[in-house]
């Protein structure tokens, strides 16, 4: 259990580092420009506005990270559908289409680890879709035989064959400046609770992330 908390904390830290990388780099570059052209009031004003915008972006990301952490560690969260609804409320910038058929799903153990991994993967999917101008993701959850299956579809550019081979096992990212640690740690969290994570490009474009978690009644047989 302690290791699971460590992995979840690592996923949060990796997500924060990933999200803060680009805006903080922009701040550093603009600050350098301000030092080099102190006499141009118009340019200083324009750059200052951009700095404020980037700082606000950082604040928003950190607030979302904190809220996601509270959601994942909230033992009062009654079920996975509620956790998904809570995530959707934290991401008003993205439309979420849900298809959940969980009436026959028994009480899920390790909910904290599962929710944290799903939230992280949903954030990745949302960001991938937004990068390609699509403000939408789709998530499905249902029972297949003795397992819970969760599928997340984004509308991004997908992954190369080499990236698919490395996905979840080594550090990489489909984004130019990303580290890919969030995906690695999500994979580790899911593996620790007995779930399998796979990624595949969709025929219509984008990426499908698939989680398969054996259900308690199947594991006890």
How big is the chain by its Cα radius of gyration, in Å?
19
Q: Where are the beta strands (DSSP E) in the chain?
A: 95-101, 136-144, 147-153, 196-201, 207-214
Confidence of residue 15 (pLDDT cuts 50, 70, 90): low
What is the β-pairing status of strands 95-101 and 196-201? Answer: unpaired
Closest alpha carbon to 98 in 150, 176, 27, 28: 150
Helix extents (H) in 73-110: 80-90
Of residues 94, 161, 85, the one with CA closest to residue 124: 94
Confidence of residue 68 (pLDDT cuts 50, 70, 90): low
Q: Which residue in the block uniquely carries the two structure tokens 């404020």?
A: 52
- Indicate whether 176 pLDDT > 50: no
**Which residues are CB-contacts of 47 (< 8 A; sequence separation ≥ 6)?**
30, 33, 34
Q: Is the pLDDT of residue 215 over 90?
A: no
What is the tally of helices (H) and strands (E) in the chain? Answer: 7, 5
At which residue do the structure tokens 């301000």 appear? 34
Check residues 34 and 87 and name the one with the higher pLDDT: 87
Q: Which domains does the chain have, with CATH numbers?
A: 2-219 (3.30.565.10)
Amino acid 175: pLDDT: 52
Asked whether the whole model's pTM tops 0.75, one would answer no
Q: 5 versus 163: which is more confidently predicted?
A: 163
- CB count, 10 Å around CB of 87? 23
3-state secondary structure (DSSP) of residue 117? helix
Distance, CA of 139 to CA of 115 (rounded, Å): 13
Contacts of 216 (CB under 8 A, 6+ apart): 106, 107, 108, 109
Mean pLDDT over 191-202 rounds to 91
User: Which residues have C-beta within 8 Å of that of residue 61, sequence separation ≥ 6?
Assistant: 16, 19, 20, 23
Nearest to 134 by CA among 126, 124, 144: 126
Answer yes or no: is pLDDT of 174 > 80.
no
Beta bridge partners of 151: 140, 210
Confidence class for position 178, pLDDT limits 50, 70, 90: very low
Tens digits of residue pLDDT in 80-107 = 788 888 888 888 889 999 998 877 676 6
Work out the mean pLDDT of the chain and round it to a whole number.
Answer: 75
> What is the C-alpha separation between 54 and 25, in angstroms, rounded?
10
- Spatial contact of 120 and 182, defined as CB atoms under 8 Å apart: yes
- Which pLDDT belongs to residue 195? 92
């Amino acid at each position: 259990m302690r290791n699971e908390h460590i992995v979840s904390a690592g996923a949060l830290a990796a997500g924060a580092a990933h999200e803060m990388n680009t805006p903080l780099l922009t701040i550093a570059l603009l600050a350098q420009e301000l030092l080099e052209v102190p006499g141009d009031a118009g340019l200083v004003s324009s750059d200052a506005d951009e700095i404020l915008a980037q700082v606000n972006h950082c604040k928003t990301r950190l607030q979302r990270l904190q809220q996601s952490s509270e959601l994942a560690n909230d033992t009062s969260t009654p079920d996975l559908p509620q956790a998904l609804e809570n995530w959707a409320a934290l991401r008003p910038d993205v439309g979420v289409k849900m298809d959940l058929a969980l009436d026959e799903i028994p009480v899920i153990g390790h909910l904290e680890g599962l929710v944290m991994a799903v939230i992280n993967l949903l954030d990745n999917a949302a960001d991938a879709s937004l990068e390609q101008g699509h403000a939408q993701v789709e998530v499905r959850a249902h029972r297949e035989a003795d397992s819970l299956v969760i599928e997340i579809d984004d509308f991004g550019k997908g992954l190369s064959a080499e990236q698919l081979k490395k996905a979840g096992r080594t550090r990489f990212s489909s984004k130019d400046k990303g580290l890919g640690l969030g995906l690695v740690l999500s994979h580790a969290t899911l593996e620790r609770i007995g779930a399998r994570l796979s990624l595949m490009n969709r025929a219509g474009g984008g990426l499908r992330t698939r989680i398969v978690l054996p259900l308690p009644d199947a594991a006890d047989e």
